[in-house]
């Protein structure tokens, strides 16, 4: 039997919709989240508050992902909670804290304002979240989260009392065992912790003002509509428990890749069940082919949806993919929409694999990819490159000038510190224009950016991170212009460290002070001509000594200096000119800056 389950993205408001019930089975462990202690094992509630409130203050537009839940249900909106009871219960206690807070807060400052009735409205709204109203019968309200009775103790009754803003007393549970009392007290402590946090952040000198009410309303709206979970639903206990084990063994919620895999299996399984020409489809073979033939990393799906949408994710990458699928994919004659999506994914995954591994035929393009992949901002870089490869169907000649424009843009960010993600998404959007090349170059590398970058490479002081990347670029350019069988050693960027030939702080008795004037050292210590690459251990060994250590590296760019009789000012100047000329030539910036930057008036 094919495994079937449905992952759904739900914001809190949907999670606690009307006529819904979550049953926490008796076999579940007792409620265990704490608001005390300093480790991850006993301060989950602290972390939850800090994350939620911090995210709210940051004003981020993206949804805050609160984790996953695994549920058993059969379509009647009554679910057994296999995994997720801790966060579900804690959300209920947070709702109760809102209710308790407004009931206790001094609201006299709200009289005569638009928020005069706000405390009462909050209580009514919280009750609608926590309870379902029953029009008939003896019980007017029924909680949406119910804990099944465990042995001789009723934790559901404890949760009821915490929700009603009552205080914990041992006398209320005369027959409880010590461990049961400890768990029972935890419900109240966590609710009270949230109340204290609300009092700290939403009272002004002990009073609840109109401004406090407005901020609290915004925070509650954030909890309702910007906090989300992935709810994984199945009607089979064995499947639910298997998913639960996977989540807990990994210590992580299902990743976008996991969710995508489940989606592919489910959609092709539905196709197989149609029979006919699809009767022999193997859903697992479809997925296995993607993992076997391509470099399918966890990062692929986020990069794919952002490269398609030309904007940042709105929810999770998986939910954005579902949105793209639902809006833009339709059955065609002879082909189902899941087959069309699969074909598009397979094509783009082939491009993604070539990009992240710099597997291209053109050696100069390969050198540029090596630079881009090691320059930081990988998210935006891969978004742009994937969109570019898709648009030009991997044509290396067609993408070359646009990759160069992006390299200028990214190096400018690294050296000058002005990265604008909107420019990247703008460039992706421009791919749909008739004149994609000129429009993208205009977005990514206008004249002012070219002028500034060329000026900094020629005359500016280069910090260590930028220096390492630019010297690596020089090495990759040499590799690109050398036959493979003549390369002494390929450069592995992560294993290399930057070495200043003239040390940044030379020993007082070293030859560096004797052979180089103070003026020269001030001008050239942080220029590219004074930089090379070593392994980490050799860099540590070199420190302020002579350059004989360079003979021990296999990188020819460094090793060749070990044969010199002397490194002097003329050599450093000549080497600087050689590197700068090579870099600017490759970037097409030989003629830049068009005039001295200080007179150009840019930025």
Query: 287, 296 in Cβ contact below 8 A?
Result: no
Can you say how many angstroms the Cα of residue 242 is from the centroid of all Cα atoms in its chain?
A: 27
Same domain? 110 vs 238? yes
Whether residues 143 and 40 fall in one domain:
yes
The pLDDT tens digits of the residues spanning 547-589 come to: 555 655 556 666 667 667 778 899 999 999 999 999 999 999 9
Residues 239 and 198 in one domain: yes
Same domain membership, residue 221 and residue 160: yes
Q: Which residue has the tokens 């760019």?
A: 557
For residue 451, being part of any structural domain is answered with: no
Question: Do 109 and 159 reside in the same domain of the chain?
Answer: yes
Q: Is the pLDDT of residue 282 over 50?
A: yes
Please report whether residue 452 resides in a domain: no
**Are residues 75 and 150 both part of a single domain?**
yes
Report the pLDDT value the prediction gives residue 555, as an integer from 0 to 100: 62
Query: What pLDDT digit, counting tens, does each position of 306-362 carry?
Result: 999 999 887 678 889 999 999 999 999 999 999 999 999 999 999 999 999 999 999
- 466 has a pLDDT exceeding 90: yes
Whole domain around residue 342: which residue ranges?
Answer: 258-357
Do 93 and 240 fall into the same domain?
Answer: yes
Query: Does a structural domain hold residue 1?
Result: no
Of the three residues 329, 357, 385, the one that is the final residue of a domain is 357
Residues 231, 69 contacting (CB under 8 angstroms): yes
pLDDT of the residue at 133: 67
Cβ density class 312-335: b for 16+ within 10 Å, e for less: bbebbbbbbbbebeeeeeeeeeee
Residue 238 within any structural domain of the chain: yes
Among the listed residues 297, 292, 118, 82, the one whose alpha carbon sits nearest the alpha carbon of residue 215: 118
- Do 379 and 334 lie in a common domain? no
Instruction: Find, among 243, 241, 597, 598, the residue nearest to 452 by Cα.
Output: 597
Q: Are residues 65 and 166 in the same domain?
A: yes
Q: How far apart are CA 396 and CA 201, in angstroms?
A: 56
* The pLDDT value given to residue 241: 64
Q: pLDDT at position 156, please? A: 92
Number of domains in the chain: 4
Q: Which of 374, 361, 592 lies closest to 473 in space, CA to CA?
A: 374
Q: Please answer whether residues 587 and 458 qualify as being in contact, where contact means their C-beta atoms are separated by less than 8 angstroms.
A: no
Looking at the structure, tell me whether residues 22 and 116 fall in a common domain: yes
Q: Is residue 315 part of a domain?
A: yes
Phi-psi map region of 413: left, alpha, beta (phi>0 left; psi -120 to 50 alpha):
alpha
Tokens matching residue 208: 């609840």
Asked if residue 513 and residue 365 are part of one domain, the reply reads no
Q: Are residues 342 and 387 in the same domain?
A: no
Task: Name the residue with higher pLDDT: 421 or 326.
Answer: 326
SS3 of 255, please? coil
| pLDDT at residue 553, rounded to an integer | 59
């Amino acid at each position: 039997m094919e495994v079937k389950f449905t992952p759904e993205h739900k914001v809190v408001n949907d999670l606690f919709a009307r006529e819904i019930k979550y049953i926490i089975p008796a076999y579940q462990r007792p409620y265990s989240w704490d608001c005390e202690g300093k480790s991850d094992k006993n301060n989950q509630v602290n972390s939850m508050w800090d994350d939620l409130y911090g995210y709210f203050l940051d004003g981020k537009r993206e949804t805050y992902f609160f984790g996953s839940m695994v549920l058993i249900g059969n379509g009647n909106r009554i679910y057994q909670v296999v995994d997720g009871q801790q966060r579900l219960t804690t959300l209920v206690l947070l709702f109760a804290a809102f209710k308790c807070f407004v009931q206790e807060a001094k609201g006299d400052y709200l009289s005569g304002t638009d928020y005069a009735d706000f405390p009462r409205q909050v209580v009514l709204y919280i009750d609608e979240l926590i309870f379902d109203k029953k029009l008939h019968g003896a019980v007017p309200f029924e909680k949406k989260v119910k804990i099944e009775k465990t042995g001789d103790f009723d934790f559901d009754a404890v949760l009821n009392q915490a929700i009603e803003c009552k205080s914990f007393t041992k006398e209320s549970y005369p027959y409880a065992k010590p461990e049961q009392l400890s768990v029972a007290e935890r419900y109240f402590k966590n609710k009270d912790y949230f109340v204290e946090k609300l009092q700290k952040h939403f009272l002004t000198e002990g009073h609840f003002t109109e401004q406090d009410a407005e901020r609290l309303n915004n925070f509650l709206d954030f909890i309702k509509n910007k906090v989300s979970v992935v709810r994984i639903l199945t009607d089979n206990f064995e499947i639910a428990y298997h998913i639960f084990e996977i989540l807990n063994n990994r210590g992580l919620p299902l990743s976008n890749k996991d969710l995508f895999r489940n989606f592919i299996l489910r959609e092709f399984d539905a196709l197989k069940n149609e029979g006919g020409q699809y009767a022999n489809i193997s859903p697992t073979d479809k997925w296995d082919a993607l993992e076997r033939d391509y470099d399918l990393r966890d990062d692929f799906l986020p990069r794919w949806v952002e490269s398609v949408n030309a904007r940042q994710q709105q929810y999770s990458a998986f939910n954005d993919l579902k949105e793209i699928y639902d809006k833009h994919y339709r059955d065609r004659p002879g082909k189902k929409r899941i087959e069309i999506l699969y074909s598009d994914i397979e094509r783009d995954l082939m491009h993604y694999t070539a990009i992240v591994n710099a597997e291209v035929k053109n050696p100069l393009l390969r050198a540029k990819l090596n630079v881009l992949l090691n320059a930081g901002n990988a998210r935006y870089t891969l978004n742009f490159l994937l969109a570019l490869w898709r648009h030009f169907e991997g044509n290396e000649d067609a993408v070359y000038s646009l990759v160069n424009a992006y390299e200028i843009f990214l190096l400018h960010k690294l050296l000058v510190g002005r990265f604008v993600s909107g420019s990247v998404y703008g460039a992706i959007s421009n791919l749909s224009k008739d004149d994609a090349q000129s429009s993208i170059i205009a977005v990514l590398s206008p004249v002012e950016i070219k002028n500034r970058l060329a000026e900094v490479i020629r005359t500016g002081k280069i910090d260590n991170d930028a220096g390492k990347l630019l010297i690596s670029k020089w090495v990759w350019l040499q590799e690109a212009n050398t036959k493979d069988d003549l390369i002494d050693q390929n450069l592995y960027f992560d294993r290399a460290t930057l070495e200043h030939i003239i040390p940044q702080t030379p020993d007082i008795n070293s030859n560096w002070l004797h052979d180089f004037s103070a003026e020269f050292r001030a001008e050239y210590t942080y220029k590219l001509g004074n930089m090379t690459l070593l392994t980490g251990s050799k860099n540590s060994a070199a420190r302020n000594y002579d350059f004989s250590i360079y003979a021990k590296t296999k990188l020819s760019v460094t090793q060749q200096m070990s044969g010199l009789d002397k490194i002097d000012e003329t050599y450093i100047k000549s080497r600087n000119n050689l590197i700068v000329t090579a870099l600017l030539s490759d970037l097409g910036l030989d003629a830049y800056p068009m005039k001295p930057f200080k007179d150009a008036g840019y930025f």
